[in-house]
Amino acid sequence: MKTSSMTARTLDAFARMSIGRAFASGIGMVAGGFLVLLVLVAIFAPWIAPFDYAAQNLMNANAPPGWPHLLGTDEFGRDVLSRVIFGARTSLSVSATAIAISMAAGMTLGAAAGYFGGFFERAVMTVVDLTWSFPDILIALIFVAIIGPGLTSTTFAIAIAYLAQFTRLTRAQIVRLKRETFIEATINLGAKPSHILLRHLMPNAIAPVIVVGMLAIGDGIVLEATLGFFGLGAQPPTPSWGAMMSSGTAQLFLSPWVIIFPGVAVAVTVIAVNLFGDELIRALDIRDRLRGS
């Protein structure tokens, strides 16, 4: 009870202080505004999309952009705009879920490794660094081999791909903070390790991790699109930007809009995420702390 209200207060203060300031600049406002809009579109997709994303109309396949299909139709006559809108749902939720899992696991491992040190730290960091030596596609293939293709495999593959980054960053923050006098002072008050970790180390370490998480969501969207493009991600008829582009390659010259619009969606989203992430770094004033991981 106490902890949850504390978390809420911390998040509230964080929103007021940092995210608020990131929106303040022109770039931050445009990029952040676009992202908020995109999230709303993803949430309210069923009400916004003009057509059913799965409804086929072979008579009207490969129709160019126009009325009533604003962005045209694909090879099955499905409305591209509706599929891009529902694709936002897939891309954002898979990427955000994967990064959330990755952040939670990475922060836990990194904090424990940084705090306890010694053999435990070396063991954790070795295993985590090992994941870095596998190409993301290979990790995804392993999951596909185990649990079959689909969004779950994609999610876990993305989560593992970014685990090392979050673990290393958190560990670096904790190791730096652990040497501060206020930690020794609090230990000397008789504080338990849990108090030191949760009340002092983590709150001071979290800001750069959140920014990196923000930027990683952009990379996660690209990775999800890549895996979808190779048919390892979302399975038909679930729309995903990557899978749409993949099916669009077959008629690249006949009906280019099938591949162009999801491609533009990926590009614009990732650019917006990165620009907003940069503003967030500036707002939090933590550029120097993002190095050294």
Partner 1 sequence: MPNLLEVRSLSKRFISEGGPFRKARSMHAVNGVSFDLPRGRVIGVVGESGCGKSTLARLILRLIEPSEGSVTFDGDDLMAKSPAQMRKLRARMQMVFQDPYSAIDPRYTVHRAVCEPFEVQGERPMADEVSELLEMVGLNAGLASSYPHQISGGQKQRVGIARALALRPSFLVLDEPTASLDVSVQAQIIGLLEDLRSELGLTYLFISHDLSLVKYFCDEILVMYLGRVVEAMPDTAAPARHPYTRTLMESTFSPDPSKRRLIAPLEGEVPSPFDLPPGCAFADRCPNASAICRKETPELTTDTGHAVACHHPI
Contact footprint for partner 1 (CB under 8 A) = 180-182, 184-192, 195, 200, 203-204
Residue the block writes with tokens 């990790």 = 139
Closest CA to 226 of 133, 158, 142: 158
In the bound complex, what is the minimum distance in angstroms from residue 10's beta carbon to partner 1?
9
Contact 275, 31 (CB under 8 A): yes
**Distance set, CA 132 to CA 98, 214, 215 (Å):** 16, 20, 18
- Decide whether 26 or 190 has the Cβ nearer to partner 1: 190
Contact 83, 248 (CB under 8 A): no
- Decide whether 133 or 181 has the Cβ nearer to partner 1: 181
Amino acid letter, 2: K
Q: Which residues pair with 73 in a beta bridge?
A: 79
As a whole number of Å, the end-to-end CA separation of the chain is 34
- Decide whether 152 or 186 has the Cβ nearer to partner 1: 186
Q: Which residues pair with 79 in a beta bridge?
A: 73
- Decide whether 13 or 123 has the Cβ nearer to partner 1: 13
In the bound complex, what is the minimum distance in angstroms from residue 189's beta carbon to partner 1?
5
Closest CA to 288 of 211, 187, 202: 211
In the bound complex, what is the minimum distance in angstroms from residue 195's beta carbon to partner 1?
6
- Look up residue 47 and give its two tokens: 């009400």
In the bound complex, what is the minimum distance in angstroms from residue 284's beta carbon to partner 1?
13
- Decide whether 2 or 291 has the Cβ nearer to partner 1: 2
- Decide whether 73 or 170 has the Cβ nearer to partner 1: 170
In the bound complex, what is the minimum distance in angstroms from residue 177's beta carbon to partner 1?
10
Q: What are residue 41's phi and psi, to 5 degrees? A: -60, -45
In the bound complex, what is the minimum distance in angstroms from residue 207's beta carbon to partner 1?
10
